[in-house]
Amino acid sequence: MVQQLALFSAIEDESYPLSVETLTILSSNRPRLFANFNKIYKPNPSLQIEKVNAKNQLVEQTRVKLSTAVPLSKLGNGAELNYHFMEKLSNDDIESFNVKSYIQDIDSNNKTNWAFQISDIPAAGNNRKLSSQTIHESVIQSSSGSVSSFIDELGYVNDFQYINVGVKFQFLSGVVMEIYKVWQVVQKDQEVSMKLITKDGFMIKAMYNVNKSTDIESLNNGSQLLLKLKTDLRDYIELDIPDRKCMDTRLNHLD
C-alpha cells in the first residue's frame, strides 16, 4: 500500500525542451526516458457481484490496473534513445515502435513482470492543496498460463488500454516528476492501432510516495516539498490539484 501525494499540470509541445532543462537543474538528475503499457480491467459485467462483502462491509467495484515497463529497445526498434525522442512524438503512431508485435509478444510471455494496482478515490475536502490517494499494489512476477486468463479467473475483463511514454525526474528529496504523453491502444480483431490522446502537449505529474498512510511526518514533509515545488515553478508550470472525480477508479461513479 502506498499513499500518493500528487499535483498535475500540462505543457505545450514547444515548452518541452525548456521544461526538461529546468527540471534537470531543479532535480539535479538527468531525465530518464520511460515507456509503460497499461491494461485497465473492470469487474466482469456478466457476474452478479454484491455491493457488500461477507462481513456486510460496503465494497465498491473498482477497476484494476496492470502495467509493465516497455523496454526502450522495443520502443526505438533497437536505437539508443534519450529524452529528445519525445520531441518527435506528435502523431498517433510511434514510428519506431511495432505495437502489434509488442502486444503479441507480451501476451504470450509468462515471465513478464506486471504491477497489479487498485486505487482508492483520492481523499475529499475543500481545502486540499494536493491530491492524496491510497494505492494498493502487488507485483506479478510470472504466471502459469497467461496473465490474461488469470485476470479472467479473478472475475475481471479488459476495459481499455494505453501506453504512456515520457521522462522522469527523481529529486533527491524524494519528489518524482514525470512529463509524458498518452496513447490509447485499440485492438480490433487482429489489428492494433494507437491514438494520441495528449495532442500538442504533455501531461505533467509531480508526486511524493509514502509507504504507510499513518506516517504523518513523511506525509507532511511530502506536502511541503510539493507545495514548495509548485511555488518555484509558478507562472511557468502551473501545478494543481486534479479533480478527484477524474482519479476515481470506481465503476459507476459517473451515474
Partner 1 sequence: MTYYGVLFVEKCTPSTITQLQDVLSTDLISMGDKWSFELKTFRTSAKNTDPNDTKVMHTVQLSHKNNETVTIKNQSAIITPTYVTKALYDNGCVFGTPEPFDYMLSNKLSNIWTQRQSIKGEFGVSYQTADLSIRVNNAFSYSGFQGLILELESKSSDNLEAFEKNVERVRTMLSGMGLSDVRVSSDKSQGSKQEDSSLFDLAAHYLKVLG
Nearer to partner 1, 136 or 234 (CB): 136
Amino acid at site 148: S
Residue 45 in contact with partner 1, rule: CB under 8 A: no
Please give the backbone phi and psi of residue 151, each rounded to the nearest 5 degrees, phi first: -60, -35
CB neighbours of 145 closer than 8 A, spacing ≥ 6? 110
The CA radius of gyration of the chain, in Å to the nearest whole number, is 19
Total residues at interface with partner 1 (CB under 8 A): 60
Nearer to partner 1, 55 or 188 (CB): 55
Nearer to partner 1, 19 or 38 (CB): 38
Among 12, 14, 32, 101, binds partner 1 (CB under 8 A): 32
Residue 173 in contact with partner 1, rule: CB under 8 A: no
Residue 108 in contact with partner 1, rule: CB under 8 A: no
Nearer to partner 1, 34 or 160 (CB): 34
x/- letters, 133..172, toward partner 1 (CB under 8 A): --xxxxxxxxxxxxx-xx-xxxx------------x----
Residue 22 in contact with partner 1, rule: CB under 8 A: no
Burial class of residue 144, CB neighbours in 10 A (0-12, 13-18, 19+): exposed
Q: How far is the CB of 56 from partner 1 (least distance, A)?
A: 11
Nearer to partner 1, 3 or 19 (CB): 3
* The one segment of 20-28, 35-43, 96-104, 216-224 that binds partner 1 by CB under 8 A: 35-43
Say how far apart CA 201 and CA 194 lie, in whole Å: 17
Residue 55 in contact with partner 1, rule: CB under 8 A: yes
Residue 77 in contact with partner 1, rule: CB under 8 A: no
Say how far apart CA 29 and CA 171 lie, in whole Å: 7
Q: How many residues does the chain have?
A: 255
Q: How far is the CB of 28 from partner 1 (least distance, A)?
A: 18
DSSP 29: S
C-alpha cell belonging to residue 237: 508550470
C-alpha cell belonging to residue 147: 496473465
Residue 34 in contact with partner 1, rule: CB under 8 A: yes
Report strand pairing: 191-196 vs 201-210. unpaired
Say how far apart CA 128 and CA 173 lie, in whole Å: 22
Say how far apart CA 116 and CA 66 lie, in whole Å: 5
- Contacts with partner 1 by CB under 8 A lie at 1-2, 4, 32, 34-36, 43, 46-55, 57, 59-62, 67-69, 110-111, 113-118, 135-147, 149-150, 152-155, 168, 176, 178, 207, 209-211
